[in-house]
Amino acid sequence: MSPHAADGLSEMLGQVTGFIFPNEIEIHWGILIVVYPYVTGLVAGAFILASLVKVFKIKEVQPTYRLSLLTALAFLLTATLPLLLHLGQPLRFYEILLTPNPTSAMAMFGFVYAWYLMAVLLLEIWFEYRCDLIRMAQSARFPLDWIYRVLSLFSKDTSEEARSFDRKAIQAITIIGIPSAFLLHGYVGFIFGSVKANPWWGSVLMPIVFLMSAIVSGIALVILLYMVLAGIRREPIEMACLDKIASYLFYAVIVDFSLEALDFIHRLYQSEESVKILGSLITHKLFMSLFVIQILLGMFIPLGILALAKARGFNDDLRKLLYFTAVILIQLGIFATRWNVVIGGQLFSKSFRGLMTYKMEVMGIEGLLASLVLLALPFAILAVLVKLLPIKLAGETATP
Amino acid sequence: MNERREFLKGAIIFFPAGGVLTALAREAAGKETVGKDAPGTDAKAQPNGKKAYNPADHWYGMGVEIDKCIGCNRCAVACKAENDVPDQPFFFRTWVERYTIARSGNVNVENISIGPQLEKAQDAREILRSFFVPKLCNHCANPPCVQVCPVNATFTTPDGAVIVDAERCIGCRYCIQACPYGARYLHPKTRTADKCTFCYHRIVKGLQPACVEVCPTQARIFGDLKSRASRLTRFMRFNKIHVLKPQLNTEPKVYYAQLDGEVR
Amino acid sequence: MKMPEQVNRLAIVIGILVGVTLLTRFVLIPRSLVSTELHWTEAAKREVAKPVKFAGSTVCQDCHEDVAIKKAKGFHKTLACESCHGPAIKHTEDPSAMKPPAPRDRKFCPVCHAYDSSRPTGFPQINPTAHNPLKPCISCHNAHDPVPPKAPRECSACHAQIERAKAVSSHALIGCTTCHNAPARHKTAPRQALPSKPETREFCGTCHGAAGKKAPKEAPKVDLSTHGGRSLCWECHYPHLPEGRV
């Protein structure tokens, strides 16, 4: 919190409705902590899409395989930055690796993250690109040729045997990778879901809902990037691929919506003590972000668009436009989902008798600008990755 | 076929190797545990013959009697003075709430520690019950804050106080989210989590916490649950005891007598 | 069949990474940085070393014995010295260097003693504006033995809220002692010598029972044998304001 924040707090005192515990006036997990599950969700979702090709052998989705992997990597590399920036003492971050508390989900997440980065994503990308790296090491100019040689770990074997081993390795890694991706983002859901003090967060369904919305956002992101990349490169988009992914997106949104609806109905029906204040929360504080953005714009309208594109035999260009619109809306919707969970959970008092407000700073290390930079950074990284590691968007098989 | 043999050979070496590595690591970790070094003790007994303070002999708790609290707020003021808590009305280690329950069932709660409250014109004939409730960290025996701290910065001392190591805390604020009682806050200067410590620096020296010391009606009492002759033990005997949010199983050690059901 | 070449390279890299990690964590990093036990002990020690600001009332009586003895007999016996005089540890270390302030302002005592509807009934409360305005509290009440200069003549001195309610009720002209027996000691030791409450239905029946001889004509009458079951009258009716408050 910046030095001026104390004035901000007195301002917020005036905006409290009802009764809150005095220490609750300060919203501790702000926009940065909304960005964090959003980003890890994209990682998990993009990886699941990649796994469709390798494990479930969905051939049509092949053109987006490498893009999904690189997207997952780009976002994974920046995933820890919001956490770092939000710490009260960021320079002590290493403590979490040095003396982790095994009962803390947050501490264990560091190791899950390391596992996923090293043992799943980097490994899979390496096996996928190994032969390409060898080839490019031979043809590139200095310094790129040395970069490729180091990246390929000075490997030289491009025989059919080696390639077939690569393919098997990729399959094995992806099979391990799917539960690892589930663990990665499920853990984030668990960090919230295990907090019994907070009835908005503390729910068994939380990790599942988080994961499903992550898959939705990841698939939508890959569609978006595929279309944008093909547009930049002026390459044709394979409609069979796009239609297939959009179809999976459609089903994913349906499952996600069902889970969230289940959570809602369950709460309403059980009518536990917190239902009154939570009802007050969503009608007064979260109306826009929940009903309008998350549900209407983020789920119902994209569902309608995708169903329309599926059912009516529209021409290619119209379908592309529809898909593009749908995925943008979905990204907004999933971001709003994260907002509603993270910020929403802190807008009501644990006394169940009052509501607070969140004043998002614009400047400052935890402000809006910092968050926008953190959201833009993975795209910059992805641009570098795509330059370094080639992606052929159409008509190729990944491992030659 | 050969590939499988090769794979099996590798696997057969892998597991014992892994086991050896793990055992080595464990041994190295085992060398890190230190002998129990109690705070405030010396290796030998105190020069005046008194026994050195052994935290394991004590298990502290607090008792609060609602019917005695007059809502004077001296406790919150003394706590801020004793513990250098920032003076602004957003950071409290302890505070006092006022409950007013009307005949209609409407419950009005306000915090009298954040400053003078405007006199509400309320018809006294409509009020069913009205009382004050002091609140503080409950120093739970099953603390959710200790469970979620990623770096072991907050912990329970052997004598039952839950304290924060301000030099380890990384300020992630997970403990603040996990506390069901709103007892924790982020200290604006140190940027670490902070909360009531039962005035740990006083109680190990035989003094009372500052809030207990200044309470004019002795609505707050402090004691050692391991001692048969402590005031708290007698308090537990004479009163029907309540704790806040028992359904969360945090096992709080601040025990309320005459606590109303409307208190959260 | 030998291991594929790329796996060998990978194994080397992974082996180096794992080895370096283990080496760093378990060998290079000193124990003092990673031992949680050590950290907790150190943290507790640091906590204990923090400065004490309130000396505690047992210390005051070592020097101020006369005041302590006087206070121990009066109404403020449970009140700690530092509740009014503020944190005084510096005074115990060097008495002449710091003198704890003695509050003499009229605004100070009402912090506890101003009337507040949420305060427990019977706790001595006054209306600060109406009670001897402008006079400092200590001119009549010695803070260490704050017994009022004159024993209150009427119950309303401490029970003003009840008096106010009764004054607008149909029981306005009934004296408190009609229904409550207050022992004389109640004025000096209020919580130890409590006044009585009526214990039988027949008591209220002297005015409200149909057959009551002393019953005033205006008092509403009920048939005691059927009205109200087995309850005592005041378990349903609030005697200080029968037609109003619960």
**Residue A6: pLDDT over 90:** no
B135 and B199 together in one domain: yes
pLDDT tens digits along A253-286: 999 999 999 999 999 999 999 999 999 999 999 9
Among residues of chain A, what percentage have pLDDT more than 70? 96
**Residue A1: pLDDT over 80:** no
Q: What is the CATH number of the domain that holds B229?
A: 3.30.70.20
**Is B44 domain-assigned?**
no
**Residue A118: pLDDT over 70:** yes
B164 and B210 together in one domain: no
Long-range pairs for A288-292: beta carbons < 8 A, 24 or more residues apart: A289/A336, A289/A339, A289/A340, A289/A344, A290/A336, A290/A340, A290/A344
The answer to whether the CB of B232 falls within 8 A of the CB of B224 is: yes
- Per-residue burial over C36-62, b = 16 or more CB atoms within 10 Å of its CB, e = otherwise: bebbbbbbbeebbeeebbbbbbebbee
B217 and B181 together in one domain: no
Query: How far are the Cα atoms of A311, B139, B152, B155, C37 from residue B39, in angstroms, in the given order?
Result: 73, 19, 18, 14, 12
pLDDT at B43: 40
Cβ of C47 within 8 Å of Cβ of B132? The answer is no
pLDDT at B119: 62
**Residue A166: pLDDT over 60:** yes
Per the prediction, chain A carries an average pLDDT of: 91
Cβ of A126 within 8 Å of Cβ of C10? The answer is yes
Q: B179 or C151: which carries more pLDDT confidence?
A: B179
B223 phi/psi in degrees, rounded to 5: -170, 180
**pLDDT band at C2; cut points 50, 70, 90:** low
**pLDDT band at A24; cut points 50, 70, 90:** very high
C17 phi/psi in degrees, rounded to 5: -60, -50
Residue B177 has its nearest CB partner, among A86, A99, A195, at A195
Q: Please tell me the distance from the alpha carbon of residue A135 to that of residue A138, in angstroms, as a whole number.
A: 5
ipTM of the complex: 0.91
How big is chain B by its Cα radius of gyration, in Å?
Answer: 24
**Is B23 domain-assigned?**
no
Cβ of C9 within 8 Å of Cβ of A153? The answer is yes
Cβ of C5 within 8 Å of Cβ of A118? The answer is no
Q: Which residues of A touch B190 (CB under 8 A)?
A: 88
B227 and B175 together in one domain: no
Q: C22 or A13: which carries more pLDDT confidence?
A: C22
A124: closest chain C residue by CA: C10
pLDDT at B38: 43
pLDDT tens digits along C8-19: 888 888 899 999
Say if residue C107 is exposed, middle or buried (CB neighbours under 10 Å; 0-12, 13-18, 19+): exposed
Instruction: Tell me the mean pLDDT in the region C88-106.
Output: 92
C17 touches chain A (CB under 8 A): yes
Cβ of B217 within 8 Å of Cβ of C35? The answer is no
Residue A22 has its nearest CB partner, among B114, B177, B188, at B114
- Decide the pairing of beta strands B220-224 and B60-65: antiparallel
3 state SS of A338: helix
Q: Chains that contact B by 3+ CB pairs under 8 Å?
A: A, C
Residue B163 has its nearest CB partner, among C47, C118, C246, at C47
Q: Which residues of A touch C34 (CB under 8 A)?
A: 98-99
Residue C6 has its nearest CB partner, among A98, A118, A155, at A155
Amino acid, single-letter form, for residue A338:
R
Q: Please, what sign has the CA dihedral across residues C42, C44, C50, C55?
A: negative
**Residue C228: pLDDT over 90:** no
B108 and B65 together in one domain: yes
Q: A113 or C218: which carries more pLDDT confidence?
A: A113
pLDDT at B236: 95
B98 touches chain A (CB under 8 A): no
Q: Please tell me the distance from the alpha carbon of residue A212 to that of residue C39, in angstroms, as a whole number.
A: 40
pLDDT at A242: 92
3 state SS of A58: coil
Q: Enumerate residues 23 to 82 of chain B having a beta carbon within 8 A of any beta carbon in chain A.
A: none
Q: Which residues of C touch B217 (CB under 8 A)?
A: 78, 123
Per DSSP, the residues of chain B read -HHHHHHHHHHHHHHHHHHHHHHHHHHHHHTT------TT--SS--TTSPPPP-GGG--EEEEEEGGG-----HHHHHHHHHHT--SSTT--SEEEEEEEEETTS-EEEEETTSSPPPPP---GGGEEEEEEEEEE----SS-HHHHH-TTS-EEE-TTS-EEE-TTT-----HHHHH-TT---EE-TTT-SEE----SHHHHTTTPPPHHHHH-TT--EEEEETT-TTSHHHHHHHHS-EE-SSGGG----SEEEES--TT--
Q: How many CB atoms lie within 10 A of CB A142?
A: 7
B179 and B118 together in one domain: no
Q: Please tell me the distance from the alpha carbon of residue B146 to that of residue B163, in angstroms, as a whole number.
A: 9
Q: Please tell me the distance from the alpha carbon of residue C30 to that of residue C35, in angstroms, as a whole number.
A: 9
A162: closest chain C residue by CA: C4
Question: A107 vs chain B: nearest CA distance in angstroms?
Answer: 5
pLDDT tens digits along C40-68: 999 999 999 999 999 988 899 999 999 99
The answer to whether the CB of A366 falls within 8 A of the CB of A83 is: no
Q: Enumerate residues 106 to 165 of chain B having a beta carbon within 8 A of any beta carbon in chain A.
A: 107-111, 113-114, 135, 144, 147-153
Q: How many CB atoms lie within 10 A of CB A202?
A: 18
A4: closest chain B residue by CA: B188
- Terminal-residue alpha carbon distance, chain C: 94
A359 phi/psi in degrees, rounded to 5: -105, 110
Cβ of A23 within 8 Å of Cβ of B152? The answer is no
Cβ of B150 within 8 Å of Cβ of A100? The answer is yes
Contacts of C155 (CB under 8 A, 6+ apart): C162, C163, C176, C182
B211: closest chain C residue by CA: C83
- Interface test with chain A among C6, C8, C18, by most A beta carbons within 10 Å: C6
Cβ of C52 within 8 Å of Cβ of B165? The answer is no
Q: Enumerate residues 22 to 81 of chain C having a beta carbon within 8 A of any beta carbon in chain B.
A: 22, 26-27, 31, 34-54, 56-57, 76, 78-80
Cβ of A153 within 8 Å of Cβ of C6? The answer is yes
Q: Which residues of C touch B81 (CB under 8 A)?
A: 53-54, 86-87
Q: Which residues of B touch C52 (CB under 8 A)?
A: 82, 201-202, 205, 207
C184 touches chain A (CB under 8 A): no
CB pairs under 8 A between B and C: 150
B131 and B218 together in one domain: yes
pLDDT tens digits along C99-116: 999 999 999 999 999 988
Domain extent listing, chain C: 174-246
3 state SS of A272: coil
Per-residue confidence of chain B (264 residues) as pLDDT tens digits?
566 666 666 556 666 655 566 555 555 544 444 334 444 444 444 455 567 889 999 999 999 999 999 999 999 999 999 999 999 889 999 999 999 999 899 999 999 998 776 666 677 778 889 999 999 999 999 999 999 999 999 999 999 999 999 999 999 999 999 999 999 999 999 999 999 999 999 999 999 999 999 999 999 999 999 999 999 999 999 999 999 999 999 999 999 999 999 999
Cβ of C7 within 8 Å of Cβ of A130? The answer is no
B163 and B94 together in one domain: no
Cβ of C40 within 8 Å of Cβ of B207? The answer is no
* Domains identified in chain B, total number: 2
B126 and B213 together in one domain: yes
**Is B8 domain-assigned?**
no
Walk me through the domains of chain A, giving residue ranges and CATH numbers: 26-388 (1.20.1630.10)
A148 phi/psi in degrees, rounded to 5: -65, -40
- Interface test with chain A among B148, B192, B247, B250, by most A beta carbons within 10 Å: B148
Tell me the three-class secondary structure of chain C, residue by residue.
Answer: CCCCHHHHHHHHHHHHHHHHHHHHHHHHCCHHHHCHHHHHHHHHHHHHCCCCCCCCHHHHHHHCHHHHHHHHHCCCCCCCHHHHHCCCHHHHHCCCCCCCCCCCCCCCCHHHHECCCCCCCCCCCECCCCCCCCCCHHHCCECCECCCCCCCCCHHHCCHHHHHHHHCCCCCCCCHHHHCCCCHHHHCCCCCCCCCCCCCHHHHHHHHECCCCCCCCCCCCECCCCCCCCCCHHHCCCCCCCCCCC
Check residue A277 and report its DSSP letter: H
pLDDT tens digits along A221-243: 999 999 999 999 898 888 999 99
The answer to whether the CB of B70 falls within 8 A of the CB of C112 is: yes
Question: B39 vs chain A: nearest CA distance in angstroms?
Answer: 21
Per the prediction, chain C carries an average pLDDT of: 87
- Interface test with chain C among A151, A152, A155, by most C beta carbons within 10 Å: A155
Domain containing residue B178: 144-186
B253 and B202 together in one domain: yes
B170 and B224 together in one domain: no
Instruction: Tell me the mean pLDDT in the region A182-189.
Output: 92
B127 and B206 together in one domain: yes
Residue C4 has its nearest CB partner, among A98, A99, A162, at A162
B29: closest chain A residue by CA: A99
B217: closest chain C residue by CA: C78
- Decide the pairing of beta strands B185-186 and B162-164: unpaired
Predicted TM-score (pTM) of the model is 0.88
Residue A110 is inside which H or E element, if any?
A: helix A105-115
Cβ of B99 within 8 Å of Cβ of C27? The answer is no
